[in-house]
Amino acid sequence: MEDTSFADISIVSCGTMSLEIRHLQNQGFLDTAHTYYTTPGLHQNPAELERQVVRRIKEARENTGKVIVIYGGKFCYVNTEEPLRRIQNVIGEIDPRIVRINATHCMDMLASEEQRNTIASEIAGGEPVWWMTPGWIKFRHEVFKGWDKALANENFPRHGGGAVVLDGIGYMDDFMAERPEEFLEYSDWMGIPLIPYTVTLDRFKKLLYDQAAILAGLDRA
């Protein structure tokens, strides 16, 4: 995996994952110069999500013939008007050779379901957990656009294990040190504890590598 290059690959991603992607770029693992982001929080607006994904993919293909889309396959795009339509349908209609990271949502990109179950058992005693990534903290107002305290009360308190932030970039340490009042205000708004949990980016890197390998195979076919 260390020898893999993404130099000839464009990345199209939900902006929520931009923190992890830029971290991997700074590390030199993700050596592409072509990254395109959609607005964070568009899972609440599937029509706009689809419009932006299509536009970003078309922009990406102007620079490279290879594109990896970083969107979850199950939960990131839910179209109530077309319940069977998935983000993979949107991508495939542009070009079936465009690949997408193999995960259900952004939390699944950082920790598998099995890993999340282990974490929940470890720190929440098996209680239901509201999973988050650092992007859900940084882009709170986009991710929870239109949410008021009443809507928060309907959704968060049922997660007795708290809101666990899967942090592979050290974001939460800086956030709590530099903006402790904002951290406490966020937790108060949710009505449950906000719990940072350190993970590695190994799973995310492996998922990216898997798609790069698929693109390389298409080149050889």
> In Å, what is the CA distance from 158 to each residue of 119, 124, 147, 155, 197?
18, 13, 17, 7, 20
User: At 220, is the pLDDT very low, low, confident or very high (cuts 50, 70, 90)?
Assistant: low
Q: Which of 8, 11, 5, 6 is nearest to 60 (CA)?
A: 11
Structure confidence by residue, pLDDT tens digits, 81-135: 888 899 999 999 999 889 999 999 999 999 999 999 999 999 999 899 999 999 9
- Kindly tell me if the per-residue pLDDT of 157 is higher than 80: yes
Domain ranges across the chain: 9-105+201-220, 112-198
pLDDT tens column, 54-66: 999 999 999 998 9
In the numeric block, which tokens belong to residue 103? 């995960």
**DSSP class of 112:** -
